[in-house]
Amino acid sequence: MAIKPALAEAINDQIRAEFQSAYLYLQMSAWFTEQNLPGFAHWMRTQWQEETLHAMKLYDFVHQRGGAIVLGGIDAPVGSYANPLSVFEKVREHELMITDRINALYERALTEKDLPLQIVLQWFINEQVEEESQVMEIIDRLKLIGSDGPSIYLFDRQLATRPAATAGEGA
Ligand code: FEO
């Protein structure tokens, strides 16, 4: 069954939000590189990849359902931060906003009785739980160790081991 145009439009707006997330995390990755924290930069660059996969998962879904892709504009992200903790607090704030959006879209899929969209969004609902939890873990660790000193370099080495985003992880 073809997707209703109004629903396709709402998904297009979520595609825009996922690309906005990717763009934000790429900017954060650059900031970490410039602070000589390559492990944090790697973690953010992996998150950029993941967000791109999220956008493309919705993009492919719209086409599979006979809808049209209309890409919206994305804003320039903030490029400078006080310290690593403030970066991750911004990530948390951003992801809570994304969770609200996904939940609202899911409510809409329920109202419109669009079962395939509900199934796709259930994957995103789980993904948001995972992302929020990962970010909270990093925030808790940063609060414990502070933003400078040897511990931050050890943590940086740990974040450098994050595996690349794959289709399984992001799509
Ligand atoms: Fe696409 Fe960070 O959620």
CATH topology for the 5-71+80-163 domain = Ferritin (1.20.1260)
Q: CA torsion 15→17→19→20, rounded to 10°?
A: 160
Q: What is the pLDDT of residue 170?
A: 47
Are 14 and 58 in contact, with CB atoms under 8 Å apart? yes
Of ligand 1's listed atoms, the one at least distance from the Cα of 127 is 3
Q: What is the pLDDT of residue 39?
A: 98
Of ligand 1's listed atoms, the one at least distance from the Cα of 50 is 1
Q: What is the pLDDT of residue 148?
A: 77
Q: What is the pLDDT of residue 147?
A: 79
Q: Using a 6 Å CB cutoff, which residues line ligand 1?
A: 18, 21, 51, 54, 95, 98, 131
Q: Output the pTM of the full model.
A: 0.94
Q: What is the pLDDT of residue 167?
A: 63
Q: What is the pLDDT of residue 158?
A: 96
| Chunked mean pLDDT (size 10), the chain, 171 residues | 96 98 98 97 98 98 98 95 97 98 98 98 98 98 90 96 76 46
Q: CA 107, CA 162: separation in Å to the nearest integer?
A: 33
* Collapsed DSSP state (helix, strand, coil) of residue 166: coil
CA-nearest of 56, 45, 49, 48 to 23 is: 48
